[in-house]
Amino acid sequence: RRILLVNGPNLNLLGTREPDIYGRETLADVEALAARTAAEFDMEVRPVQSNHEGVLIDAIHAAREDCHAIVINPGGLTHTSVVLRDALTGVALPIAEVHLSNVHAREPFRHRSYVSPIADFVIAGCGAQGYAFAVRRLATLLAG
């Protein structure tokens, strides 16, 4: 089984971008952690990161063909994007929403997520480890 791992805008800067908020792990570290965790359950990860909304949407559509679940950190698009939400709803796969930071403890504009209402679960504030938790939980859901 395969999980699409989507990281949205600015997450390519992980490790150097506001490390006090987002941690010191790089995007490559996060993707490797997700892949290692998936391997424990005989699953694999297809990572995609883009700063372009349309690229993310195309990747989500493509997942319909050959992925069984999606882990997504939509970055700032979390708080703005109807089209990203519609893409996720459209493919009808289990969705895990992950945020490195605890968005609820931050600015009010980060408290609203267009994705949370259509996600199976949400993990925020666990740093890079949140991606591993998400993969684990999806493994449980897919096995059930």
50 or 142, CB closer to ligand DQA?
Answer: 50
CB of 110 to ligand DQA, least distance (A): 4
Q: Of these residues, 22, 52, 61, 111, which one is catalytic?
A: 22
3 or 30, CB closer to ligand DQA?
Answer: 30
100 assigned to a ligand binding site: yes
Candidates 50, 94, 102, 93; CA nearest to 74 is: 50
Is 99 designated active site? yes
Q: How many helices (H) and strands (E) does the chain have?
A: 5, 5
CB of 101 to ligand DQA, least distance (A): 3
CA 68/CA 97 separation, integer angstroms: 15
CB of 103 to ligand DQA, least distance (A): 5
Strand (E) or helix (H) holding 86: helix 82-91
142 assigned to a ligand binding site: no
User: Counting beta carbons within 10 angstroms of the beta carbon of residue 87, is it exposed (0 to 12), middle (13 to 18) or buried (19 or more)?
Assistant: buried
Give the footprint of ligand DQA on this chain (CB under 6 A): 10, 73, 75-76, 78, 99-101, 103, 110
Token pair listed for 71? 């882990």
1 or 15, CB closer to ligand DQA?
Answer: 15
Write out the catalytic residue numbers.
22, 99
